[in-house]
Amino acid sequence: MMRIGLLGCGNIGNLLAANADGFTIGAFYDLVPERAHRLAKRSEGVAFETFEAFVDAEVDLVVEAASNLAVRAHAEAVLRSGKDLVVMSVGGLADRTFRARLREIALAERRKIYIPSGAVMGLDNLKVGRIGGIDTLVLRTTKSPASLGLEVGERTLVFRGRADECVQAYPKNVNVSIALALATGVEVQVELWTDPDVDRNIHEILAEGPFGDAYLRIRNVPSPDNPATSYLAALSILVLLRDLGEPIVVGT
Ligand SMILES: NC(=O)c1ccc[n+]([C@@H]2O[C@H](COP(=O)([O-])OP(=O)(O)OC[C@H]3O[C@@H](n4cnc5c(N)ncnc54)[C@H](O)[C@@H]3O)[C@@H](O)[C@H]2O)c1
């Protein structure tokens, strides 16, 4: 059975541990050691106090569910230790130079970097953008003021621009825009709205190109323990992990 190392034992980490089916979590690491220990106690895995010890553990793959900074700090070491990497904090891959470097390392080490669909749907087919092109690609995200740390009384546009610019302004809310840009190979026009009347994180994707046009609206149920994270995001990692062991894979 596939053995996983879990880098980040917060909301998503807990959901993964609670739903570990078809894989085991052999190693846990979190900046807050108690979080790693708490999860390790509930499984047969080991909680490590330092990243260096964690990355040496005998696992096949590391799932990052921590932060953009954790991706920047640790992705290279994970690949160099001979493990594949699942990146949940896709914002950590926003920088083109950093991404190119990781790609080179992954190629040299014969490792893979997997990016789950996360909080959206449709990334599978939107990849056609890399072949046939997409002329217009808009991501309109709407979140409650609380999940953006704002206080506003009416629907308000808080950001409009490119995905890599959004990363600077709203580092915790850009994963979807970067994932969309990486999947399609196309510049994404990002709009971030806040609306006191919404109780879900809403992502609308509008795409138009030689293939035709598409409109997707995903209304995400927030995770019970962290309203900024969609339950769908945790489910998408579970699906990815399950597919890794499957001989027939649908919709990649
Ligand atoms: N791709 C997507 O669509 C998508 C969707 C939801 C969340 N995310 C991202 O996934 C990540 C995890 O989300 P979450 O809801 O579990 O967050 P969370 O805040 O509940 O948990 C993150 C955990 O990681 C730990 N951590 C942070 N930096 C670390 C580091 N450098 N080394 C070790 N541990 C570290 C924290 O202490 C915390 O326990 C976040 O970065 C979030 O933005 C991505």
Share of the chain above pLDDT 70, in %: 100
Q: How confident is the model at residue 247 (pLDDT cuts 50, 70, 90)?
A: very high
**Looking at the structure, do residues 113 and 237 belong to the same domain, yes or no?**
yes
**Looking at the structure, do residues 110 and 138 belong to the same domain, yes or no?**
no
Q: How confident is the model at residue 189 (pLDDT cuts 50, 70, 90)?
A: very high
Strand (E) or helix (H) holding 142:
strand 136-143
CA of 64 to the centre of ligand 1 (A): 8
Mean pLDDT over residues 19-35, rounded? 96
Q: Which residue has the higher pLDDT, 137 or 199?
A: 137
231: tokens are 């339950």
**Looking at the structure, do residues 26 and 86 belong to the same domain, yes or no?**
yes
Residue 168 falls inside a structural domain: yes
Q: What is the CATH number of the domain that holds 50?
A: 3.40.50.720
Neighbours of 207 (CB within 10 A): 25
Q: What is the CATH number of the domain that holds 154?
A: 3.30.360.10
**Looking at the structure, do residues 114 and 152 belong to the same domain, yes or no?**
no
In 3D space, the residue among 36, 216, 5, 209 whose CA is nearest the CA of residue 121 turns out to be: 216
Per-residue pLDDT at 92: 93
Kindly name the residue from 88, 203, 218, 222 that is annotated as catalytic. Answer: 203
Residue owning the nearest CA to atom 32 of ligand 1: 31
Residue 226 falls inside a structural domain: no
Ligand 1 site, CB within 6 A = 7-13, 29-32, 35, 65-67, 69-70, 73, 88-90, 118-119, 172, 175-176, 179, 226, 229-230, 233
**Looking at the structure, do residues 138 and 217 belong to the same domain, yes or no?**
yes
Residue 250 falls inside a structural domain: no
Per-residue pLDDT at 222: 81
Give yes or no for residue 131 having a pLDDT over 90. yes
**Looking at the structure, do residues 28 and 103 belong to the same domain, yes or no?**
yes
Per-residue pLDDT at 32: 98
Give yes or no for residue 172 having a pLDDT over 80. no
Per-residue pLDDT at 166: 82
**Looking at the structure, do residues 39 and 95 belong to the same domain, yes or no?**
yes
Pocket test for ligand 1, best of 28, 29, 67 (most atoms within 8 A of CB): 67
**Looking at the structure, do residues 214 and 143 belong to the same domain, yes or no?**
yes
Residue 227 falls inside a structural domain: no
Residue 249 falls inside a structural domain: no
* 203 catalytic per annotation: yes
Per-residue pLDDT at 17: 94
Neighbours of 148 (CB within 10 A): 20
**Looking at the structure, do residues 148 and 210 belong to the same domain, yes or no?**
yes
**Looking at the structure, do residues 106 and 202 belong to the same domain, yes or no?**
no
State the total domains in the chain: 2
Model pLDDT for residues 9-19, shown as the tens digit of each residue: 999 999 999 99
**Looking at the structure, do residues 205 and 172 belong to the same domain, yes or no?**
yes
Per-residue pLDDT at 107: 98
Q: Which residues form the domain of 173?
A: 123-221
Model pLDDT for residues 29-39, shown as the tens digit of each residue: 999 999 999 99
CA of 66 to the centre of ligand 1 (A): 3
The whole-chain average pLDDT of the chain stands at 93
Whole-prediction pTM: 0.95
125 conformational bin, left if phi > 0, alpha if psi -120 to 50, beta if neither: alpha
Give yes or no for residue 165 having a pLDDT over 80. yes
Residue 33 falls inside a structural domain: yes
Residue 204 falls inside a structural domain: yes
**Looking at the structure, do residues 24 and 100 belong to the same domain, yes or no?**
yes
